[in-house]
Amino acid sequence: MRSIPLRYLVATTIFLCASMSANAQHAVHKRTFKLPPPADLSYAIRARQSGFSLSGEALFKWRTAPGTYSISTETRSPLVGKIVDATSEGSIDTFGLAPATFVENRWRKEPTTTTFDRAAKVIRFAPETGTFPLLGGEQDRNSVIWQLIAVARANAATFKADSSWDFFVAGPRDAEPWIFTVIKEEQLTTTLGPQRTVHVTRAPPPDSKGQQLDIWLAPGLEWYPVKVRFSEADGDFIEQSLEQISKVAG
């Protein structure tokens, strides 16, 4: 039984990234943002890993309240049940989402907790011991997609082909810049009908063999992602396709 294919299925979270120096500084960007309405998003998963075809499902729960937000993601496989779940919780400040904690639980692995210590102005990792400076606007691997959505909703006129949008993103053990580039508008057929989407990609650094992330945001559906694809250099992939949106009270 293989755990490798499904460990990447948490939305927005699933990368094996090169480490940066714990003392590295990073750019601070304060952009206008408009958060999407709270919702539950259900996705079907299909994947190819090492010649094997796999399937599964994922559920994203996006919540906001005055001054706060929470995001939970859960991925399941018919073979083993729950594979991975992750939560991001925090406040909403002038930068947008301001994570306080990012907790990730993967099948057969110890849980990890990333803490955004705003009093000490550092990002901490457990069980790791390194830190990164906390300057404002930093995201975690769960929150960054929703921050991207919020920025796109508020900047639709400039969220166009060839524009780039960078964020500083913390994972379970370290943090690094992520650069999203808008590719083009595309028409997709979905279970919710035809959708005009904006295709955004995050390519790995040129000297890295990491994953490429492609996201198709649907302006007609509050800019929720209708498709998310993780691609490997060897042709393996994992793709998440939106099946259902359930709006919930904020």
For residue 117, being part of any structural domain is answered with yes
Question: Over the chain, what is the mean pLDDT?
Answer: 86
For residue 21, being part of any structural domain is answered with no
Q: What is the CATH number of the domain that holds 154?
A: 2.50.20
pLDDT at 42 exceeding the cut of 70 = yes
CB atoms within 10 A of CB 26: 18
For residue 151, being part of any structural domain is answered with yes
pTM recorded for the entire structure? 0.86
Question: Per-residue DSSP letters for 31-54?
Answer: ----PPPPEEEEEEEEEEETTEEE
Q: Which residues contact 88 (CB under 8 A, 6 or more apart)?
A: 69, 70, 71, 72, 97, 99, 101, 102, 140, 142, 143
- 102 is in which domain, residue-wise? 5-10+29-247
What pLDDT, on a 0 to 100 scale, did the predictor assign at position 33?
Answer: 98
For residue 51, being part of any structural domain is answered with yes
For residue 125, being part of any structural domain is answered with yes
Phi, psi for residue 51 in degrees, rounded to 5: 85, -5
Q: What pLDDT band is residue 49 in, cutting at 50, 70 and 90?
A: low
How much is the average pLDDT of 203-218? Answer: 80
Residues 204-230 as b or e (16 or more Cβ within 10 Å = b): beeeeebbebbbbbbbebbbbbbbbbb
What pLDDT, on a 0 to 100 scale, did the predictor assign at position 82?
Answer: 75
Instruction: Work out how many domains the chain is built from and give that number.
Output: 1
What DSSP element (H or E) covers 148? helix 143-154
For residue 122, being part of any structural domain is answered with yes
pLDDT at 6 exceeding the cut of 70 = no
For residue 188, being part of any structural domain is answered with yes
Give percent above pLDDT 90 in the chain.
62
Q: Is the dihedral of CA 169, 126, 63, 85 positive or negative?
A: positive
For residue 20, being part of any structural domain is answered with no
Q: What's the rounded Cα separation, in Å, for the pair 133 and 129?
A: 14
Q: What's the rounded Cα separation, in Å, for the pair 195 and 182?
A: 17
Q: What pLDDT band is residue 102 in, cutting at 50, 70 and 90?
A: very high
What pLDDT, on a 0 to 100 scale, did the predictor assign at position 23?
Answer: 43
Q: Which residues contact 190 (CB under 8 A, 6 or more apart)?
A: 218, 226, 227, 241, 242
Q: What's the rounded Cα separation, in Å, for the pair 214 and 198?
A: 10
Q: 48-62, 138-152, 214-228: which range is least confident on average?
A: 48-62
How confident is the model over 150-180, as pLDDT tens digits? 999 999 999 999 999 999 999 898 999 999 9
